[in-house]
Amino acid sequence: MESVIYNIEGKKIGTVTLSERVFGVRWNADLVKQVADSLLSTKRKNVAHTKDRGEVRGGGKKPWRQKGTGRARHGSIRSPIWVGGGVTGGPRNEKNFYRKVSKKMRIKALYAILSQKLRDKEILFVDSIALSEPKTKIAVRILKSLSDITGFKNIFSKKNNATVVAMSGKNKMTERAFDNLGNIEVVEARNLNPLLLLEYKYLIIENPKLIYGKS
């Protein structure tokens, strides 16, 4: 399986032979959804928290005697049926939302998404995006050049979640150059995950021969 490699000026400079194991996987919607739901649930933070009747203030004394008042019997103002009392069955911040999926499932889902994006022509292979200075105007110029490639006109103009740039290694200059662009996300290729690929439409992979290629 071959694909074209471009330079940062949007010109074809060669081809790369891609691994069928990574980019030739059939789409599996059930697996992708299960893995995505797991990652979303694991990212969820416990914020909401209610107090039960053992945590609210007051209520140490019985509000009135058991019989003879004509009123219903009550033992504490901390009861859930009292205003200001404890809450029954409310959200608690100690709840664990972690949902486990196997490493094999995560990898298979990642490969399925990569394969589908390649079939949908949403992946662009670039030889190098290693910048020597952290200037946003350079990053903008690169994206505008790449957007001239057929099928990738929205790679930068899309308002939200436009593109993920997958670097072959860590490059602080490149990261800082793209940092001011809210619709672009720069990550190392080894940190790509199904959730990120589902969130962003396009994917730019730097130096694919080093990351995914056979030669």
Quick one: 33 and 133 in the same domain? Answer: yes
Do 112 and 193 lie in one domain? The reply is yes
Residue 208 pLDDT > 70: yes
Query: Quick one: 134 and 163 in the same domain?
Result: yes
Instruction: Determine the Cα–Cα distance for residues 54 and 48; give it in Å rounded to an integer.
Output: 18
For the chain, what is the domain count?
2
Is 49 a member of any domain? no
Do both 112 and 62 map to the same domain?
A: no
- Residue 177 is assigned to a structural domain of this protein: yes
Is pTM beyond 0.85? Reply is no
90 and 109 in a common domain:
no
Same domain, 90 and 150: no
129: amino acid identity, one letter: I
* Confidence at residue 159, expressed as pLDDT on a 0 to 100 scale: 87
pLDDT score at 115: 95
Q: What is the pLDDT of residue 215?
A: 39
Residues 105 and 89 both lie in one domain: no
Enumerate the H helices of the chain as residue ranges: 20-23, 29-43, 103-119, 136-146, 154-157, 172-178, 194-199, 208-211
pLDDT exceeds 70 at position 28:
yes
- The answer to whether position 103 is within a domain reads yes
> Residue 59 belongs to what domain range?
55-96
CATH for 25: 3.40.1370.10
State the chain's mean pLDDT as an integer: 90
What is the dihedral sign for C-alpha 16, 107, 150, 133?
A: negative
Cα 94–chain centre separation: 23
Q: Is residue 13 part of a domain?
A: yes
Q: Which two tokens stand for residue 19?
A: 């691994």
Is 85 part of a structural domain of the chain?
yes
Instruction: For residue 211, name the pLDDT band (cuts at 50, 70, 90).
Output: low
Look at residue 158 and tell me whether its pLDDT is greater than 60.
yes
Please report the pLDDT score of residue 126 as a whole number. 93
Per-residue pLDDT at 157: 84
Per 3-state DSSP, what percentage of the chain is helix, strand, and coil (rounded to 5)?
Answer: 35, 15, 50
Query: What pLDDT, on a 0 to 100 scale, did the predictor assign at position 144?
Result: 93
In a domain, 67, yes or no: yes
The answer to whether residue 82 is domain-embedded is yes
Q: Is 50 a member of any domain?
A: no
Residues 105 and 206 both lie in one domain: yes
Q: What percent of the chain has pLDDT over 90?
A: 68
Residue 136 and residue 119 in one domain: yes
Q: Are residues 122 and 175 in the same domain?
A: yes
Q: 131 and 150 in one domain?
A: yes
